Amino acid sequence: MATEKQIAANRANAQRSTGPKTLVGKMKSGRNAFRHGLSCPTHPDPVKVDALAQMLLDGAATDLRLSVATELVTAQLELLAIRSVRAEILAAIDIKAGGTPGLFRLQALDRYERYAHTKRRRAAQKL
């Protein structure tokens, strides 16, 4: 059982350990674990996506087919973004110096790549 002195010390510590209070502090701490931004929802340029979807359909565009083509193009653009992040990480890894943290980061990208592949494959099957 905790003594009164320990309880008081815990309460005093809890008053200081409640996280950032200011907007600047919250914004700074919100980027603590930011690595590559791939887990955030992507918002590619809608004009570019629509143009690519129209080219993919080659003039035979209904609303449903256009929607599916848009999904496919968006998934492909996500894959391209993942591959560019992968290339940056590979360029930064120094194998001779023991670049194992970079290798772990590469392994973590596989999850995002698998998810984008799945989205692209499902959209292609619908199309």
Per-residue pLDDT of 89-103, as tens digits, reads 888 877 677 666 767
12: helix, coil or strand?
A: helix
Measure CA of the first residue to CA of the last residue in the chain; give whole Å.
65
Look-up: residue for tokens 């995002």?
Answer: 112
> What are the residue boundaries of the structural domains of the chain, listed by start?
4-30+62-126
Per-residue pLDDT of 15-71, as tens digits, reads 877 788 888 888 777 767 666 667 666 778 888 888 888 888 887 778 888 889 999
